[in-house]
Amino acid sequence: MIVPLGHVLLLAGLLFSMGLICILVHRNLIMTLIGVEIMMNAAAIVFVAAALRWQLMQGQAFVIFILALAAAEVSVGLAMAVSVYRRTGSIDPDHYDILKG
């Protein structure tokens, strides 16, 4: 591995922190979805780095599942956002009480 594992873990930690901050600070559904995507990509980077470090393919196979999950999450999340925006006229998650019950 050309890049040391510690540097890759630092990068993944920074990305995960940025995604978490994006979720906590921004009260916008689109930014929340972007934050979740960034956090999932950070986890994928860790899996690839671990797979390269220990010469195992399971980590890289798991990344493919993460990417498939991310694609499904984006499509469902954006469909819900469009639906709720049409009903409420806002993309603020605090106004989504219409999804209850």
For the stretch 23-75, pLDDT in tens is: 999 878 888 889 999 999 999 999 999 999 999 999 999 999 999 999 998 89
Q: Write the single-letter amino acid at 33.
A: L
Its pTM stands at 0.83
Residue 30 is predicted with a pLDDT of 84
Residue 50 is predicted with a pLDDT of 93
pLDDT at 19 over 90: yes
